[in-house]
Amino acid sequence: MADTSSPVAGGMDNKKSLDYVGILKNAFNIVRHNRYLWYLGILAGTAGSGYGGNFGGSSGRTNSSGDLDVNQVWTEALKWIQAHIVLIIVVSSILLILCIVFTVLSNMAKAGLVHSVDSLSRNEESSFGKAMKFGWHKFWRVFGSGFLIGLAVLGIIILLMVPIVAVLFINPLASIPIVLIALPVMFFVTVISGIIYQYSLRYISLKDEKVIVSIKSGYGLLKRKKKDTALIWLIAAGVSMVFGIALVFAILLVALILFLLGLLLFIISQFAGIIYVVVAATAFIVFLFVAGGFISSLVSAYWTLCFKEMIE
């Protein structure tokens, strides 16, 4: 088998034109007929979800000049923390466990989704269980790839922020041109790193490559396939945007209908209205997750099928 990651193979691949619309239709059909992919999309989308909380306490006192007494506020905050230290530890532990669980499930689902779409595109049997089992074996590689790429992006952003912050303290107006330059650079870096991760994920899932090798392969594929990659990214972003806008309108329409029905039931019977609100809110949240899972799985399937076309 030829080494598709080599420059020679990449040069030969450049002669092959991708049927972007046809691949998108194929991805849509695969996702539409295999709804378990939606659930994988839901789990894959949980990566990066933050958990946190705020606590309220004394609003503090003011001194004779009307300014906030910072020392008093700090003292009150320490008292609150000391009085609720057990609660803070328990809640923090639960949130930490949830973050770890969702991180593991998300990375498993990402690899499993790629593997499932690959199998289904070759008319092979696949399932949610098989996808997650596959993802479990690829977890550390997928996590490592995302961590290293994210760390590199964070480093670049920090380097860009240093001169902005420095100039901001000296002359706030002088920092405006730097910000106008830095923001597009940050956007470009974020997009490029995201694309490299998409390719790295698929090299890990479909080619069984290690973390560093997959990142290098992803970067190499991006260099060889600049035009194809740009079009794939634009189409994927466009699909996400179109479905996202449609989802917003659907949410507004459904929310309005549910609100009017709930108001009518509440007028007839407060108890029935309360029960309705609980059931409707639960169903509404489930709908949002499922819709988001569909969009996530569709975009992932599109990247996977395009990736297969480019390296085969």
Q: What is the pLDDT of residues 206-220, one digit of tens each?
A: 999 999 999 999 999
Over residues 23-29, mean pLDDT: 95
**Chain mean pLDDT for the chain:** 84
CA distances from 248 to 116, 245, 251, 281, 282 (A): 29, 5, 5, 16, 18
**pLDDT for 102:** 92
Q: Which token pair is 87?
A: 């609660």
Over residues 157-171, mean pLDDT: 84
Q: Please state which of the ranges 21-25, 109-113, 159-163, 202-206 shows the lowest mean pLDDT.
A: 159-163
**pLDDT for 312:** 78
Q: In sequence order, which residues have a C-beta less than 8 Å from that of residue 79 and are 6 or more positions away?
A: none
Rounded Cα–Cα distance for residues 298 and 129 (Å):
19
Reply yes or no on whether the pLDDT at 246 is more than 80.
yes
Reply yes or no on whether the pLDDT at 86 is more than 90.
no
Residues of the chain with pLDDT > 90, as a percent, come to 53
Q: Which residues pair with 68 in a beta bridge?
A: 62
Q: What is the pLDDT of residues 254-282, one digit of tens each?
A: 888 878 887 787 778 777 777 877 888 88
DSSP summary character for residue 68: B
Confidence label for 16 from pLDDT (cuts 50, 70 and 90):
low
Give me the sign of the Cα torsion angle 171, 176, 178, 179: positive
**pLDDT for 3:** 43
**pLDDT for 277:** 79
Rounded Cα–Cα distance for residues 113 and 304 (Å):
9
Over residues 43-71, mean pLDDT: 50
Rounded Cα–Cα distance for residues 81 and 65 (Å):
28
Rounded Cα–Cα distance for residues 41 and 44 (Å):
5
**Following CA atoms 134, 139, 143, 144 in sequence, which dihedral angle do they give, to the nearest 10 degrees?**
-110
Q: Do residues 167 and 128 lie in contact, with contact meaning Cβ atoms separated by under 8 Å? A: no
Q: Is the pTM of this model over 0.85?
A: no
Q: Look at residues 229, 308, 303 and name the one whose alpha carbon lies nearest to residue 27.
A: 303
Confidence label for 69 from pLDDT (cuts 50, 70 and 90):
low
Residue type, 112: G
